Every structure is written in structure tokens, then in C-alpha cells.
Amino acid sequence: METGTTMRTRIQQARGVEPADCVLKNCRIIDVFCGEIVQADVAICGERIAGIGDYSGVKEIDCNGSYVCPGFMEGHIHVESSMLSPKQFARTVLPHGTTTVVCDPHEIANVAGTAGIDFMLEESADLLCSFYIMAPSCVPATHLETSGASLDSIDMEKILHSSRVVGVAEMMNFPGVLCGDEEVLKKLLLGKNKNVPVDGHAPGLSGKDLQAYVTAGIMSDHECTTAEEGKEKLCAGMFLFIREGSTAKNLAALLPAVTEKNSHRCLLVTDDCHPHDLLVDGHLDRILRKAIKLGLDPVTAIQMVTINVANYFHLVDRGAVAPGYRADLVLFDDLSDIRPRMIFAGGKQVVEKNNTGKTNTAVLANRFPEVFASVHVDIKEISFTIPAKAKLARVIRIVKDQLITEAVELPVKIINGMAVADPENDVAKLAVIERHKFTGNKGLGFVQGIGLQRGALASTVGHDSHNITVVGVDDQDMTLAVETIVRQGGGLAVVEGGRVLASLSLNVAGLMSTAEAQEVADDFSSLLASAAELGVLVKDPFMLMSFLALPVIPHLKMTDLGLVDVDTFQHVGLWV
């Protein structure tokens, strides 16, 4: 916390009366306020920048003309999707220049409720990479599935009392907003009354329904897939979060909506990232490189991961290289190909690499039993047989690189009166099994477009209620895949011919691992390689599978209660 003593010292160093603690000499500074590049020194006092100009310091680092910009700020991510605990996530993204993360923990909240959020806050406290949290607004996301917990407006109000909770997370229940649901409105009013941002989630919403959604106080959207949709939402007063994650890739489609006049209302975000992508390709630095390659002005791109993020979330102490701001800094040499070579976080040079230190899992499991014992399924009751009741079935068809799916009607393959997978036509069985309360709920159907020819894949990651999702072409392999992840307390598995080819244990809520990032990435790579051997054509089938169970993104999805027509927001039968 800032004190009069620290401020007085910084003032003296800014005046040049005293030498700065540290000075970065010969810099080309990215001025995110004016959109310019300035040649000067950066004087650092403690955790903050004392001044910009010609300075001397106790410690001096000659940057030899390197560019210096603010530390990158992630404006929207579900850390759970990285399969890393907050500590391991921070250690992984810091070397890529990310010094601030604003995360929405609604994944773990759907599994473990407020205990999950408390875990995220404790695990992310006092890290070099600053963590802020949004209060989940949709736990559960809808009434169309079974979640492990429920958060109402009273719970959310308590969560918002934490100093590191900076807003209301994405309001996915847009039908509830449009019909004026009382509890939904109470949640939205929390944001307005506390003067914090309220994130949105409204894929395809347009016209008067969009106007109604925005008039409720919802300020952003990260679900746009076309420039036209992005422009309409910008014109309605929303901030446009341009997503480029491991599965949903909207950057190329949305960049035409960004102009010199509206770019200050745009952020670059990931939403969901897997560990291999973070380790190999990077985090926000990866998106910056791609955006610049696609023609976005480099300084504008940097603004979209720094000052724009800080302004939106009212984080007034960061996001710029300027006096009094937190000394979160990224040094790099090529403006057209941004690759961080030196990072400062709170005035400290980041020297630790991705994976240092171990997590005391036993202590955490004792403190957060709801988080570490979260898979409750009676394996003996598992069955994937589907009696054929017609010749045509409603099938979920995958759209490449998108979370949106198509709803199609296809003839099914029938053997001895039972509907079965049809790998010749790229149709696999899809099941979602409730895993929180031993209900035995199970949704069964079909999915087209994954490419699976043999075996089965299963996962305890299934947005947003995170029941078990399993895809397969053989019922026995599907059963073994589910048994495997249940016995390991959550995670992922690939099975063929009665053998487990690869698996990954996710011991935190069935969503994250306390293992180091490289270990998780290696295990995950083995899963992807095994899936590819079974014919899978999708780069990341597990990320894709997790969204097949999300009934708030059009058009057809599956939950533990059955198929969901997202356009009408109701369950529909499998058979036509």
C-alpha cells in the first residue's frame, strides 16, 4: 500500500534530487496516451515509475534502443481453461509479458461455488503477475443443465466486497435480461450500484434486443464473430473484446471493425487458452504479433492490451509507462514482431521461468474439500445405448474454429434396433453425464465433424456446469474413458480397444492441475497425439468438446438433461 514516505521518496527521485532505484536508459517508450514513440529513460522507484526523461539511478540498465511498453493486461480469460492453477498460470504467462490478468472464475464456481472463488483468490494472491477477479453472474449458466453450485445476487454481493474483485462477469443469460428476470436484474444492478463494469455475452444479438441488453447496463461483449456484429455493438456503446483463444479465433474477422476513432473501445483477449499454446506460441504477445501481421498498427495493438484494459476495469495504477504508474514493463526489439526479452513486474525484473516451486496439494485439499473432491458418478450405472425411435435425428455439427455449432437433421445408422455411431459419415456418439450430485442424469446424442474413427475421448471439463463430456464410436471404449477420469478424480482420457492410450489428471475441481505447466502440456500433447491417431481432425478436440455442452452459444448443444435448442432456449428431442 502506498504511504506518504514512499510517495515522498518517489517525488524526490522524479525531481532528480535523489537517484532513482533503477533506470532503464536509452529506451523507445510506447506512449499509449498519445499513440506515439518517445526516446527517453524510465526511472523506477520501488514498485512504481518515478518519471520519464533523463535520469540517473543506483542501478542502470542500458536498453540500447529497445522498445518499452506497459505490461500486457488480459481483460477476459477463464484461467481454468489453461488447466493450470493460478500460480502455475502466472509463471507461464509472465515470461510472455503478461503482468495483469482479469479472470472470470465461473468455471470453478459452477463446480464448487464460493469455495472455488476463495481458492482462486488465495492461490493468486501476492504473485508478480497481478490477478483480479470478476464476480460470476451465471452460476449455473442456465436452467437447462445441472451444476455443482448456485450463486444468487446475495452471494455475488458478498464476492464483490473483495478488493481484487473488479466487476460483474459475463451475463450469459441474455434471455433472462430481455424478459426482465428479477434475479438477473438484481445481479446487473450490483454492477451499477458499485460502479464496476458488467461484462456481456451475447452472440448474434442484434437490433432492438441488443438495445435492450445494453440498456440494462451491460458494457462489453467477447462473442462477436463478424465485423458487422462488432460494429453494431460498438455503436451501441459496448466495448468490443476481440477474442483469439485456443479454439475460438475471431481476430481476423473482427479487425475490419477497428478504426482509429474507435480502437480505444477495443480489447484483445484470449477467453480460453491451453497450456501447450501458452508455452509454445505465447499469450497476449501471440495475439499482438498476429494482429500486427494482419495490418493493425502496432501502437494501437499495444493500447488494446494495456491502457484500454486498465480504463475499462478502472485499474488506474497500471497500463501505461508514465509517472506514478506501476512499473509493469515489457522490453522488446522489433515493433513488427513483438517478442518480450525483458519484463518488469512491480519494479522487479522477472527472472523466474515458467515452472518453479511446488504446490502443497495436501494443505489445499484440506482447506478446500469441495474443490479437490468434485467428481461424483456411479460408474456401474453408465450406459451409452440409444434405442432408435426414428430414422432421422437432430445432430450437432461442428463449425471449424468457432464455438457456434449447426443443428442438422441426419439419417442415423441403426443396428439391431439401436442407433450407433457412423464413423464413415463422421458421426460419433456424444454424451454428457452429471458429475456433481450422483443424479444419474445423462444426455445422449450425436455430433458430426470431429473426425473420430475409433475409440473414445472423455473429459470433466464441460462448459459451464462441467459435467462429464464423452465422444466415441464404441460404447465400451466410452465407458472405459469415463471410468478412467472418474477414478483419477477428474481430467481427460483417450481410449481405444479397451486400452487407455493417454490421460491427464485434473485434481482441482476436475478443471485444473497443480502440476507444473510443462508437465501438464506434455500430458496434454500426448492426449492430442493419441486422439489424432484415432482420426480426430480437430486441433484441440477437448476444448471443442467442452463447448459442446454450453447451452448459451447457438445453435444446438448437449447437457446432462438432453439436447438444447439455444435459439429457443429449450430442450428438444433427439428424434425428428
**What average pLDDT does the chain have?**
95
- Between the alpha carbon of residue 495 and those of residues 424, 475, 526, 539, the distances in Å are 19, 11, 12, 18
Cα of 115 vs its chain's centroid, Å: 20
214 by DSSP, 3-state: which?
Answer: helix
Are 315 and 309 in contact by the 8 Å Cβ rule? The answer is yes
Helices 517-533 and 541-548 meet at what angle, rounded to 10? 90
Phi, psi (deg, nearest 5) at residue 452? -60, 125
Cα–Cα distance list, 138 to 168, 177, 183 (Å): 10, 12, 11
Per-residue pLDDT tens digits for 363-421: 888 899 999 999 999 988 899 999 999 999 999 999 987 888 999 999 999 999 999 99
In 3D, which of 39, 128, 164, 558 has the Cα closest to residue 354?
Answer: 128
Compute the average pLDDT of residues 432-453. 97
pLDDT band for position 61 (cuts 50, 70, 90):
very high
For residue 464, cis peptide bond before it (omega within 30 degrees of 0): yes
- Give percent helix, percent strand, percent coil of the chain, each to the nearest 5: 30, 30, 40
Tell me 136's DSSP state.
P
Instruction: Report pLDDT for 376.
Output: 95
Place of cell 480397444: 497
**pLDDT band, residue 357 (cuts 50/70/90):** low
Separation of alpha carbons 509 and 79, rounded Å: 13
pLDDT in tens, 309-326: 999 999 999 999 999 999
pLDDT for res 355: 43
| Chain-centre distance for alpha carbon 261 | 28
Residue 49, φ and ψ in degrees, nearest 5: -85, 125
Report residue 191 as a C-alpha cell: 454492477
Per DSSP, the residues of 482-521 read HHHHHHTTSEEEEEETTEEEEEEE-TBTTTBBSS-HHHHH
Q: How confident is the model at residue 331 (pLDDT cuts 50, 70, 90)?
A: very high
- pLDDT above 90 coverage of the chain, percent: 90
Residue with cell 457412423: 422
d(CA 327, CA 321): 8
Q: Supply the pLDDT for residue 143.
A: 87
| Dihedral sign (CA 6, 7, 8, 12) | positive
CA dist., res. 365 & res. 218, Å (int):
36
Phi and psi at 57, nearest 5°, equal: -145, 165
Per-residue pLDDT averaged across 131-143, rounded? 93
Instruction: Tell me, letter by letter, the H, E, C secondary structure of 38-88.
Output: EEEEEEEECCEEEEEECCCEEEEEECCCCEEEECEEEEEECHHHHCECHHH
The larger pLDDT score, comparing residue 253 to residue 274, is at: 253
Cell numbers found for residue 1: 500500500
Instruction: Report how far residue 60's alpha carbon sits from residue 451's, in angstroms, rounded to the nearest whole number.
Output: 56
Domains and CATH numbers, the chain: 4-65 (2.30.40.10), 73-318 (3.20.20.140), 374-571 (no CATH)
Distance CA 554, CA 136 (A): 21
Give the model confidence (pLDDT) of 460-487 as tens digits.
999 889 999 999 999 999 999 999 999 9
In angstroms, rounded to a whole number, what is the distance separating the alpha carbons of residues 138 and 134?
Answer: 12
Is residue 142 scored above 90 in pLDDT? no
Tens-place pLDDT, residues 104-118: 999 999 999 999 999
Do the Cβ atoms of 209 and 282 come closer than 8 Å? no
Other Cβ atoms within 10 Å of 179 Cβ, number: 10
Q: Which of 373, 375, 288 is nearest to 337 (CA)?
A: 288
354: pLDDT strictly greater than 50: no
* DSSP letters spanning 289-339: HHHHHTT--HHHHHHTTTHHHHHHTT-TT-SSSSTTSB--EEEES-TTS--
CB 472 within 8 A of CB 384: yes
Q: How many Cα atoms within 13 Å fall on the side-chain side of residue 212?
A: 13
Question: In 321-458, where does DSSP find H-type helix?
Answer: 361-367, 369-372
Render pLDDT for 173-227 as a digit per residue (tens, 0 to 9): 888 999 999 999 999 999 999 999 999 999 999 999 999 999 999 999 999 999 9
pLDDT at 248 over 90: no
Q: What is the pTM of this model?
A: 0.91
Residues in the chain: 576
**Does 496 have pLDDT greater than 80?**
yes
**Please, what sign has the CA dihedral across residues 510, 513, 519, 522?**
positive
